[in-house]
Amino acid sequence: MSFSRTVVLVSGFALVASGCTGGTEAVDFDVEEIGAQPLTGDDCGGCGTGTNGLPSADFHQNEWKLRDVLGESVVETDEHGDIFAVTNGLLDTEAGVNVFKYALRCGVDEDQVVVKDLTGGGMLSTTGAWVTVGLGDPARSDVYTCMLGHLNPSGTEVPIMMKGAAITPGSHSGPLEVPLSAFGFQEAVWATVIDPLTHRPFYHVWPQAHLLSHCTNPALLAVALRSRVCGLGVQDCGLTIHSNPLDFATDCSGSDGVYTCLGYRAIETWLVTEDRDEIYGACVQ
C-alpha cells in the first residue's frame, strides 16, 4: 500500500483537559456549533476539511457510553421514517456530543446523515456498516484508534497526519494548506485491543524513532504520552506505553505506516516537526 493511499490529515485543537469536562444538563446542539463538515467541492478527492480537537477529558468521561453506541446501529428510523440515533445519554452533555462528533468523523462514511444533519467524515474505510448494524471488535478498534489520534489536551492547534490500513485513501479532516511534505516528525504507532467479553478498549502506543530521539528520558516520555491520551495529571486510562523498540518488533508487523499490532489494525501518526514541542516540549530537559 503506497504512502499516498493511506494518509489522512487532521488538525487537533485541544483544550486543557481539566477545564473541558462538559455539563450535566441536556444540550440542544446544532451542527455549526460542533463543527460538522460539508463537502468542499475542491480537487482533493471529495475530502472534508475542518478543525479537529477532542479533549482527553471528554473522551474518557464518555468512553463507556461510546462503547454501547458502537455496538448498535448508529442510524435508526421511526415509524415516520425520521432518522434518530443514540438514546443512552451520550448526547445529553456537550462533552458527549463532542465525543460522538469525532466518532462519526472516524467511523461513518462521508456525507452520511446520522442525526440533526450531523454527518460522517469518512476517515475509516472499515466501519461503513455502522449505519445499519453494531460494529464487531476489529471495527470498534479502528474507531477508538482513530480517536486516539485526535486527543491532545495541550490547548494548541496541532496538525496530525495519520497512516494505516483502515484509513480511507485521500481522506482529510483539517486544513489542506498543510502539505504532506511538512510532516517530518514520526510520532507513534497506536492500536486498541478490545476485550472480547466486555468490549472494553485497552490502548497501546509504540513511540517511533523521531519521538524516541526527541524524548530520551523514558520517564518524561511516559508522562508526555500519558498526558496526551489520558489528560493532564491523569495517571491511568487503560494506556500501555511500549517504549522499548524491541517491543514494536515483537508486537507489530507490516511496513510504511501500515501495521498490525497485537492482532489489530494500527494507525501511525506524524507531526509537523516545528509543532512537536507543543505536545512533547516538557519531555526535553
- Length, in residues, of the chain: 285
* pLDDT tens profile 72-130: 888 766 665 555 556 678 888 888 888 988 899 899 888 777 776 677 888 899 998 99
The total number of structural domains that make up the chain: 1
Dmax (CA) for the chain in angstroms is 62
**Cα separation, 28 vs 220, whole angstroms:** 41
Q: What is the CA radius of gyration of the chain?
A: 18
Q: Which residues pair with 186 in a beta bridge?
A: 270
**233 pLDDT band (50/70/90 cuts)?**
confident
The domain in which residue 229 lies consists of 3-283
* pLDDT tens profile 198-213: 999 999 999 999 999 9
* pLDDT tens profile 157-198: 678 888 899 988 776 655 556 777 778 899 999 999 999 999
* pLDDT tens profile 53-77: 688 888 999 999 999 999 988 876 6
Supply the pLDDT for residue 244. Answer: 92
Higher-pLDDT residue of 161, 221: 221
CB atoms within 10 A of CB 260: 15
| Sign of the dihedral through C-alpha 58, 64, 68, 70 | positive
**Cα separation, 195 vs 217, whole angstroms:** 32
* pLDDT tens profile 14-24: 323 333 333 33
Higher-pLDDT residue of 256, 179: 256
Q: How far is CA 57 from CA 53, 60, 228, 233, in A?
A: 12, 5, 11, 11
CB atoms within 10 A of CB 106: 33
Q: What is the mean pLDDT of residues 31-36?
A: 28
C-alpha cell, 127: 466501519
- pTM for the model stands at 0.81
Higher-pLDDT residue of 149, 242: 242
Q: How far is CA 222 from CA 13, 34, 164, 241, in A?
A: 22, 31, 24, 7
H or E, element range at 146: helix 137-148
